Structure formats: C-alpha cells, structure tokens
Amino acid sequence: MKTSIVWFRKSLRLHDNPALVAACENEQVGFILPLFIIDPDMFGGKFENWSPNRLRFLIESLSDLNKQLSTQYGSRLLLIEGKAEDVFENLEGLLGKSFDSLYCEYSSDPWERKKFSMIQKTLSEKNRGIQVRSIDSFHTILDVEKVISSTHFRNPKSMKDIDRVFASHFDKNEHGFYKIDDPIPEPEKIKPFPQISGIQSLPIEDLATQISQSVNTDIMSVKSYFPGGETEALSRLKKKVSGQVEYVNTFRKPKTMSTNTTGEPMEPSTTGLSPYLSVGCLSVRKLWKECEKCQRQGTHSQPPESLHGQLMFREMFYILSRSVDHWDNDQSNEMCKPIEWGDFDQEKMEAWEKGQTGFPLIDAMMRQLEATGWMHHLARHAVSCFLTRGQLWQNWKYGRDVFERKLLDSDWALNNGNWLWLSGVAPFSMPYFRLYNPCPDGKSSLNVEAVSAEFIKYWVPELKDFPPKYIYEPHLAPETIQANANCMIGVNYPKPIVERKECAKDNLAKFKNSLSRLKSA
C-alpha cells in the first residue's frame, strides 16, 4: 500500500486544509502520514529564535492538532526533529517504494521556498515517481506566485493598489463582494497512519520538556491571552466574529483601544485572531467569509479600516515580501529609504525591550509583549515610533528582531512590512514627521484609556497607586504625590531615559537631512 505524507508547515488545522484533502483523495494511497518538523533552521539549535510564549503557543497548537487527529480519525501527528531536507531523505529511505506523494502548503518565505526546492529535487532524483506538491492560496487568499507573474503586475503600495490586484484576480458577486472560494470542510475520514519501523517520533510532552530545558523556562506555565490550537481559534472566531454583526460591521481598526477592552486588561479590543492565522490554526479564507456573512446583513465599514481591509493589507505584505528583493533589509530594498540611523545603543535597546524607559505607556506595552506575546496594533505604532524616528533613533531592524522572537503572530512578511511602515522609510509609510506622543492623553490617536489608567497600572504595578492625572508622565508629579503613591521616580520607577520633545525635534531634523542626502546622491 502506498503512503502519502502531509507536511504541516503553517497549517496546523484540519479545516480548509487542501493538502490534507488532496492526500485523502489520492486513490493510489492507502496510508497518510501527518508530519510536523522541528527544524533548527527555524527555531534555532536551542530554540533561541522563539520566545517562551511563541514556543508554548506552538506546543499547544501541535497538541490540539494531534488530539483531533487521534479522536476524530484514529491517526496521529508525527513529530521529527532535524533539518527538513534531512528528514525527508531519511523518510524516503524508511518508506522505500511505498512513498507515493508529499503534500504541503506553499510558503513565500525565501528560505522556505529554498528548502522546498531542495526537498523536491532530492525526492525527484530518486526517480521513483514521488509526487511532490506545494499548494497555493493556502496561507493567503491570493495565489502569490500567480499575482507577481501577472503581465501587468506592479508592486502594490496602498489599499487602492491591493484592491486593484484583488479586482484583477477575483470577480465580484451580486452583493459587491469578491468571489473568494469557500473554505474546504474537514475530511470525513483520513486513511490510517502507516506501520513503519525505524521512525523516531518525538512525543509532544517530551518536546515541551526538551524546549523548557533548552530555554531555562517552563514554557507550559507561561500565562497568555491566547491558548494555542485550532479548537481555540474556532472558538475565538465564533466569539469575536461569527454572527457578531454589529461588531464586524462597525469595526474600524484605528478606533479600537490600544490599552485593551475597558474593564478587561487581558482582552484585546480587536479580534485577537492574528496568532491563529500566523501558525495556520485558522484559515484566512474562513475568517474572510465569516466577516462577509456579517457584512451582507447591513451597512458596514470599508477598507482599509474594516476587517476585510486589514486582511487585504496582509495580502499586500505577502506579495511585496515575495516580489521585493531584500525585503528584510534597509539596504538595496526598493521599499526602504536607507536612513542613516544611530549606532546600536545597548542601553537604549535594553530599556526599550524590558519596559524600563521611564515612559509608562511604552513600558506597559513592552511588558505586555514580554508577558503575553501580543500587543495591539496601535501599541506597535507607539513603541516602534519611539524606538526609531521618535525618541531613540535606532534602526528599525533592531525592533523587528525583538518582535520576530516574541510576537505570537510573528510572520516574516508581515513583521518586516509593519516595521518598514512604522519607521517612516517605506513608500506606504505615514509621513515621517507625524510622531506619536509617548505621553498621550485620552484624545490621542493612540486611543488610550486615561480616566482610570487601568492598563498602565496592570502592567506597570509600580504606578498602581498613582493618580491617573500623572500616570503617563509620573516624573512631573510633585514629590508629595509620588510619596503618597509609594513610588518615587528615579528610585522605584525609572526617570525618562531621554527628553522626549528635544529628541523628537533632533530626530526629525536628522531624518530630513538623511532624505536630502539621498536625493542629492
């Protein structure tokens, strides 16, 4: 009997999984081997590339997938540690002539494409007719390769541009919505797991223990907003989107609260679904369709502020990450002005990353990231502006690397795109001279809650007894108020590491001068 391998890469789910369905429909196959590879090229040799939060989320997602495969289909998820190209060469040797096919989703990340090409070449050289198939329009709505190879393709730089891309690849239905394919249901049944000797499968519990020992943290004890897994993803989708007509139709991303839902400091005012999209616990097509169901029932917000608009921006960054050379660099990148940033400053970077800058909003948001692996998009605006063109004049790549390691929804295409955007260096960026005030009030475009300052007091407990009047600039509070709040600035909580107004003025001048030199070069 022939065996097909289904390689779960960024698709840790059963719903809308074309690779799994393709394997199930292969009439030549009698066995299906579901596979996830713990590749050191992705995670690091000692799992140092991912934070404990990201690793916990991954373990929970893998555990949920394995449980569903077991309880619903009598199958299981095979975990193998090693470089993907070596894993498949070893599996080919163990399976021999029974190895019929390999199915997985397409990935636009450059190293993932390189790996897949190596694997495809290795297996085809065996000359046994092994079918190796990477399926497009899986982790994205658009077929990335088809889009960038289109005759009239030009790099999209705005919502209008990406809307034109959608219009050139999708018709619209009678309701004016793009005809996006419906998500594929879960398979009714999955062919049995093959009985093969010699395969070294790593139990998920052992993997969690191994990771915990490597990073010196019990990753399964880390508390976060978001438990990993498809089960939780679909539950959150139902809670936040499916049938939530008013919420979906009035959703405007810039109007959501950066300091979370009032009265619930642990619950985002946005959907909180991005981590599940990142590792594929949730299908982007399913989210798109659930939003559309709500929007068909009445007047609704429009792109770019709507939920559909946010998903279209996601598509834009995936396309650019594939079509733009050096997408992740500040040199030789057509989407990045090579601004002359300051030298790496260890003291500034550590204060920023650890939430010890003396600016409570920045510190609360960075501590939230450290503790949970998540922060609101306006929080990302605030801390990235502060790090780069606002106050600290550090290269955006330094902040990008911190986000890459810590964010649950970290994604190479999106993370780089967002930092290019927020540091003011991209053609799709906001004007570089529009800075976010790290000491805002309730009228700020950062949408902070300033009446009770609950969010700040939750994440910066040193200030829990501070009057809200001084919560965003506690160093300005009279010493008597500091004493009454049991928090002396400079003793119990740091003084601001920079003078924000003076730095902002100097940095804007440096940005402008750097642009002038680029134009005259």
Instruction: Report yes or no on 330 lying in a domain.
Output: no
Domain boundary among 323, 354, 389: 323
Residues 359, 436, single domain; the answer is yes
In this prediction, what percent of the chain has a pLDDT beyond 70?
98
- Average the pLDDT over each of 71-85, 378-392, 441-455, 485-499 and give the range with the smallest value: 441-455
pLDDT at 28: 92
**Is 252's pLDDT higher than 80?**
yes
- pLDDT score recorded for residue 261: 67
Co-location of 2 and 84 in the same domain: yes
Residues of the domain holding 352: 346-520
| Residues 171 and 240 grouped into a single domain | yes
Domain for residue 186, yes or no? no
Q: State which of 291, 323, 355 marks the end of a domain.
A: 323
pLDDT tens digits, one per residue of 20-65: 999 999 999 999 999 999 999 999 999 999 999 999 999 999 999 9
Both 421 and 484 in a single domain? yes
Residues 106, 118 share a domain? yes
Can you tell me the mean pLDDT for 160-184?
A: 96
* Same domain flag for 512 and 426: yes
On whether residue 474 sits in a domain, the answer given is yes
Determine, yes or no, domain membership for 172.
Answer: yes
Q: Is residue 59 part of a domain?
A: yes
Compute the distance between CA of residue 434 and CA of residue 410 in angstroms, rounded to an integer.
26
Q: What is the DSSP string of 393-411?
A: ---HHHHHHHHHHH-TT--
Helix ranges (H only) for 342-471 are 346-354, 360-372, 377-385, 396-406, 412-422, 454-459
Query: pLDDT digit string (tens) for 467-483?
Result: 999 999 999 999 999 99
What are the residue ranges of helices labelled H in 98-196? 110-125, 144-148, 159-169
CATH, residue 147: 1.25.40.80
Positive or negative, the CA dihedral 418, 419, 425, 430 is positive
Q: Name the pTM for this structure.
A: 0.96
C-alpha dihedral (230, 234, 236, 241), degrees to nearest 10 = 140
Could you tell me if residue 394 is inside a domain? yes
Q: What is the CATH number of the domain that holds 78?
A: 3.40.50.620
pLDDT tens figures, 356-406: 999 999 999 999 999 999 999 999 999 999 999 999 999 999 999 999 999
* 328-333: average pLDDT: 96
Domains of the chain: total? 3
Dihedral sign from CA coordinates of 381, 382, 388, 394: negative
Same domain, 144 and 107: no
pLDDT of residue 216: 95
Does 48 fall in a domain? yes
* Pair 464, 319 in one domain: no
Question: Is the model's pLDDT at 339 over the cut of 80?
Answer: yes
pLDDT of residue 519: 87
Are 131 and 161 within one domain? no
190-242: pLDDT as tens digits:
999 998 888 878 999 999 999 999 999 999 997 778 999 999 999 999 999 99
**Looking at residue 126, what is its pLDDT?**
66
Closest CA to 30 of 64, 4, 58: 4
Res 14 pLDDT > 90: yes
Residue indicated by tokens 């005259």: 520
pLDDT digits (tens, 9 = 90+) for 118-135: 999 888 776 678 999 999
- pLDDT at 444 > cutoff 90: no
- Half-sphere exposure in the Cβ direction for 482 (13 Å, CA): 16
Mean pLDDT of 453-463: 95
pLDDT of residue 201: 85
Residue 225, pLDDT score: 81
For position 419, which CATH number holds?
Answer: 1.10.579.10
Note the pLDDT tens digit of each residue in 273-294.
Answer: 999 999 999 999 999 999 999 9
Chain Cα centroid distance, residue 324: 20
Is residue 491 located within the same domain as residue 516? yes
For residue 421, what pLDDT is reported? 96
- Whether 74 and 155 map to the same domain: the answer is no
Mean pLDDT of the chain: 94
Domain's final residue, options 105, 138, 171: 138
**Pair 239, 147 in one domain:** yes
The pLDDT score that the predictor gives to residue 401 is 98
**Residue 197, in any domain of the structure:** no
